[in-house]
Structure 1
Amino acid sequence: MSDRQTAGFGAYVRAEAEAGRLVVQPRMGFGDPETMRAGLAATRAANARTVGTITVDAHTRVGHLAAVESALRDGVALNGYPLVTHPAATTAEVLAGLHGPDFPVQVRHGSADPLGIFRAMLAVGLGATEGGPVSYCLPYGRTPLAESVDNWARGCELLTRLRDQGLEPHLETFGGCMLGQLCPPSQLVAISVLEALFFAQHGIRSISVSYAQQTHPGQDREALAALRRLCREMLPVSDWHIVVYAYMGLYPQTHDGAYRLLGRAAELAVEGGAQRLIVKTAAESRRIPSIEMNVRALEYAARAARRAPRVPVDAGADSATYAEGRRLVEAVLNLHPDVGRALLLAFQKGYLDIPYCLHPDNRGWTRSYIDTDGRLCWESTGRLPLDAPRRPRRRRFTSADLLDDLAYVRREFDSPR
């Protein structure tokens, strides 16, 4: 077995980055095994440097396996691949001849209790997945954060058993995508770094840190520089890379607007020095995209990335995003030597607090807004250990104001040029 095959997902992305190529990846999952295999095959054959994705269905994410079995029995379509329910032999057939050192496949899920999913991965030799104890808990349901932290600690340790199969497990933190929108970049950066440190503390040696495209390209580039610098300063592993997500909030409804936003995401990834991009399609605002739509998005993003100027990334600047992100990370780590325990204490004290997040373990004392230049800013920092400027309220902030901010990117990209 070659070194690249042994190292797996992280080594593949790193090798492509060293060759000057951005890896692009779909968010793809189908309940039918033949369709899932066709999606992987089409992703591999796309005119781009790609990795494959198996996105798990919503029932499996929350452990409702009886609902999965009922859907499969009755021929009801699922919105993802039921990895835990399909026999390992079936999934092995889906992967046969496709998954390998030159086309690694990542499992994406959204679960606060990923142990069943991870066991199913081990059964078929899949070594790459994503999530995190905070980022796959707070936005997705009401699972207590303490349970999620415990589940993810055990999950990381379970994944390390892949080394017995000659595979290096890879975990991507979803922390840079909290709720997909209206979370100022410094906190996205901080949570991504903290989840990466959690993974490393529980034996994961190959990690990717995420950041989701937000509302202002300059602010996003600043955030990526801050994320890179903090990882260089703090991560105890050498195998890590940055992944950018195309905008995770309300997506443009027009074809041109959707592709312009995707093009901006590709440019951001290149200019920000990221090594991988999770794409979205022109159909995101209406329905689950087809295989063909995913391939078109992958190829469009790859072309946009090739055209983007490759400018030096300034990872040393003491930007406001870097200063706030570092202050948040240090404040959390000072609470307890165990990162998981520190995360729990941080949310209890309000040192981490996600704007507009309704999870019971989130204090809800912070608020954000989009300023006139399109930047995401703090309106109220609650008990965050920050001295960030705040916008004085001229009137009561209403649900209409929130909806207006949530639709900001959609309006900007759907407007006639």
Structure 2
Amino acid sequence: MAAPPRPGRFTRFVRRASSEGRLVVQPRMGFGTVERMRAGLEAVGRVGAATVGTITVDSYTRVNDHASALLALEQGADLNGFPLVAHGAEVTRRMLAGIAGDDFPVQVRHGSALPGELFAGLVAAGADATEGGPVSYCLPYSRVPLAQAVAAWAECCEMLAGTSEPVHLESFGGCMLGQLCPPSLLIALSILEGLFFREHGLRDISVSYAQQTHPEQDREAMSALRTLASEWLADTDWHSVLYTYMGVYPRSRHGAYALLAESARLAARSGAERLIVKTAVEASRIPSITENVHALEFAASVAAQETADDPAGVPDSGIYEEAQAIITHTLTLGSDVGSALVRAFRLGHLDVPFCLHQDNANRCRARIDGRGRLTWADPAGVPVPRARDLAGNRERLTARGLLDMLSYNERRYDDSALKITN
């Protein structure tokens, strides 16, 4: 098996930090103006930890409405991210000059199902990395047909593969809808997107998982993700990324920081190389530069106090076997990964609970059990082991029950903060 080509600057930085025993921490940060975006990047670069910069684009750019983004800039409107295409590649390149480099690479984060113009812009601007995927940035965020998104992402991957300096691509597959998606499905989707990236020429990639509702289950899930990546993506230069909980966030400062601390401990113990950090104000507004910096410093300090798990001590409830079964079955459904993904969703063999996209069957269901674990209530057509045992056991889900599950971590961590306060 041929060795992957030399990785790009983003992956070289992550590898160097990992070899030094440091977790890379990264914000989810984006501002509309060049001046504020540059100030944010400079502040993150000064954090006393291993950090990479983030340029998160605005909601107009995500849907390719660049005319509205440009109009907002002209009118001085407050955008919720950086309109890279509207600003233009040369303006973005100048903004990055003197900031981005071997010791501080920068990733563009977006949320676009059809990211062709954005990818062309970030490549021309000299960005080091981006993220997403044909499933993970189509089903949750758009009404674009899945087959169209798959075709667009194939072209975008080939665009990145054709650059002289490798551009890193991170799968967002481990974060579908942020919550209420069983860990094995999140892992399978991230590995499948990694395989899709590889199929279209990329070897510099990462796979992801989003923290859920039970620390021990999350330890098992991260172990399964890393094992499966080593098996399926052995001929790529991959690393694993953990997201601090992406669902409804605690409203209290203490609760928010307690949840962030749990994710930092999980990242360090599981061997994740990178952590996407959330701040104490996620529940109410877009964080300031200072709030992002504080969250990065806090997460890095918590992670530095942890040591990696002994693999023998990681629990095993079957997450690896479930994810492996989903991946293996999906790949039998098409002559290539893209067509297999489209057919799997058409058949309901890939199915994201509570996702309303027209190409998602939305027949399977998940639940948070009495121990706080996120499990299958009914996998429907998803080919997980024990599917027959689970099928038909779906409990009647009320609107109140769904809201209770969605707010599970918010209530749990805010209640713990209230107890400490009292």
How would you bin the TM-score normalised by the shorter chain? over 0.9
Report SS of the residue matched to 2:390.
coil
Cα distance in 1 for partners of 2:8, 2:88 equals 26
Q: Are residues 1:96 and 2:94 paired?
A: no
Provide the residue aligned with 1:204 in structure 2. Answer: 202
Q: CA deviation at 1:394?
A: 8.9
Moved more, 227-236 or 103-112: 227-236
Q: Are residues 1:65 and 2:63 paired?
A: no
Provide the residue aligned with 1:235 in structure 2. Answer: 233
Moved more, 383-392 or 308-317: 308-317
CA offsets, 1:233-278, max 9 Å, x none? Answer: 1114341100000000000000000000000000000111100000
Cα distance in 1 for partners of 2:271, 2:103 equals 22
Q: Are residues 1:414 and 2:420 paired?
A: no
Cα distance in 2 for partners of 1:349, 1:15 equals 43
CA offsets, 1:263-306, max 9 Å, x none? Answer: 00000001111000000000100000000000000000000001
Provide the residue aligned with 1:172 in structure 2. Answer: 170
Provide the residue aligned with 2:32 in structure 1. Answer: 31
Moved more, 124-133 or 178-187: 124-133
Cα distance in 2 for partners of 1:27, 1:394 equals 36
Report SS of the residue matched to 2:207.
strand
Q: Which consecutive residues of structure 2, in runs of 5 or more, have no partner in the other structure?
A: none
Provide the residue aligned with 2:405 in structure 1. Answer: 405
Q: CA deviation at 1:168?
A: 1.1
Moved more, 189-198 or 331-340: 331-340
Cα distance in 2 for partners of 1:49, 1:240 equals 18
CA offsets, 1:82-134, max 9 Å, x none? Answer: 00010322212210111011100000000001111111012111131000000
CA change 1:366–1:356 in 2 (3 A) is same
Q: CA deviation at 1:313?
A: 3.6
Q: CA deviation at 1:355?
A: 0.3
Report runs of 4+ in structure 1 exceeding 2 Å deviation.
Answer: 4-7, 309-319, 388-396
**2:70–2:87: 8 Å Cα contact kept in structure 1?**
no
TM-score, normalised on structure 1? Answer: 0.95
Q: CA deviation at 1:69?
A: 1.5
Provide the residue aligned with 1:190 in structure 2. Answer: 188
Q: CA deviation at 1:310?
A: 2.6
Report SS of the residue matched to 2:181.
coil
Q: Which consecutive residues of structure 1, in runs of 5 or more, have no partner in the other structure?
A: none
The letter of the residue matching 1:373 is R
Report SS of the residue matched to 1:97.
coil
Size of the alignment, in residue pairs?
411
Provide the residue aligned with 1:77 in structure 2. Answer: 78
Cα distance in 2 for partners of 1:215, 1:229 equals 21
TM-score, normalised on structure 2? Answer: 0.94
Provide the residue aligned with 1:142 in structure 2. Answer: 143
Q: CA deviation at 1:318?
A: 6.2
Pairwise CA RMSD: 1.8
Cα distance in 1 for partners of 2:99, 2:311 equals 34
Provide the residue aligned with 2:117 in structure 1. Answer: 116
The letter of the residue matching 2:120 is R
Cα distance in 1 for partners of 2:313, 2:333 equals 27
Moved more, 386-395 or 274-283: 386-395
Report SS of the residue matched to 1:99.
coil
Q: CA deviation at 1:392?
A: 7.1
Moved more, 371-380 or 392-401: 392-401
